Structure 1
Amino acid sequence: MELTNEFTVAAPIGEAWPLLTDIERIAPCVPGFRLTGSSDGEYQGTMKVKVGAVQTTYECVVRFVEFDEEQHRAVIAAQGKEVRGQGGVTASITSTLSPEGDGTRATVVTNLDVTGRVAQFGRGILADVSNRLVKQFVAKLETTMLEPDPRPAEGPASGRGGATSSGSAASPPTSSASAAAPPGDDEALNLLSVAGAPMVKRLVVPALLLLMLVLVLRALARR
Structure 2
Amino acid sequence: MKLEHRFTVPAPVPEVWAALLDPEVVAPCLPGATLTGVDGRGFTGTVEVRLGPVVLLYRGTGEFTSVDERVHAAVLRASGKDTRGNGTATATVSAALTAAEGGTEVSVVTDLVVTGRPAQLGRGLIGEVGAKVVAEFAEHLAARLGPAEAERVTTQETRPRLRAVPDEPVDLIDAAGVPVLKRVLPVVAGLVAVALLVRRLRGRHR
- Normalised by the size of structure 2, how large is the TM-score? 0.74
Aligned counterpart, 1:155: 157
Cα distance between partner residues in 1 of 2:26 and 2:91? 19
**How many pairs are equivalent?**
179
How far did residue 27 of structure 1 move? 0.8
Aligned counterpart, 2:135: 135
C-alpha spacing 1:84/1:201, structure 2 compared with 1 (3 Å)? farther
Cα distance between partner residues in 2 of 1:35 and 1:183? 13
Match of 2:138, SS?
Answer: helix
Aligned counterpart, 1:217: none
How far did residue 123 of structure 1 move? 2.5
C-alpha spacing 1:41/1:111, structure 2 compared with 1 (3 Å)? same
How far did residue 48 of structure 1 move? 1.2
Q: How many percent identity over aligned positions? A: 38
> 1 or 2 for the larger relative contact order (CA 8 Å, sep ≥6)?
1
How far did residue 134 of structure 1 move? 1.2
Unpaired runs of 5+ residues, structure 2, are: 185-206
Which of the numbers 180, 183, 186 marks the counterpart of 1:199? 180
Give the structure with higher Rg (CA). 2
How far did residue 200 of structure 1 move? 6.1
Give 1:21-40 correspondences, 5 Å limit: 21-39=21-39
Residue 59, structure 1, aligned to residue 40, structure 2: no
- Normalised by the size of structure 1, how large is the TM-score? 0.69
Q: Of Structure 1 and Structure 2, which has the larger fraction of its residues in helix?
A: 2
C-alpha spacing 1:187/1:36, structure 2 compared with 1 (3 Å)? same
Cα distance between partner residues in 1 of 2:55 and 2:114? 20
Aligned counterpart, 1:215: none
RMSD: 3.0
Cα distance between partner residues in 2 of 1:106 and 1:45? 23
